[in-house]
Amino acid sequence: DGGITQSPKYLFRKEGQNVTLSCEQNLNHDAMYWYRQDPGQGLRLIYYSQIVNDFQKGDIAEGYSVSREKKESFPLTVTSAQKNPTAFYLCASSRSSRALTGANVLTFGAGSRLTVL
């Protein structure tokens, strides 16, 4: 079955450490996204990529970095510069990033829960 796989599901890190969250999709989608979810807040866009080797900052990109070397993969690195990294991180994909309509909607992975100790 096609889908999006995120790993790890749970991650603990010490302050000052970088950590990389994996996101792999086999849906043949062009566009991929990273969101962050905090209690009481809507999902906020960190980075997105419309095509291989290209990505754009979202609303809260500071302290994060991404790469898109393969269509299937869009890893997110949470760097030590991110002031408040404890959150639920969601990766998503869509056929394209244009005209997000009923036929072209976001599909999410199961998420990665990061806790900074």
Distance in angstroms (rounded) separating the CA atoms of residues 60 and 8? 22
C-alpha R_g of the chain: 13
Quick one: which of 19, 21, 31, 78 contacts another protein (CB under 8 A)? Answer: 31
The binding track of 62-101 with respect to another protein, each residue x by CB under 8 A or -, is --------------------------x-x------xxxxx
Distance in angstroms (rounded) separating the CA atoms of residues 75 and 67? 6
Which residues contact another protein by CB under 8 A?
31, 35, 40-45, 48, 50, 56, 58, 88, 90, 97-102, 105-111, 113
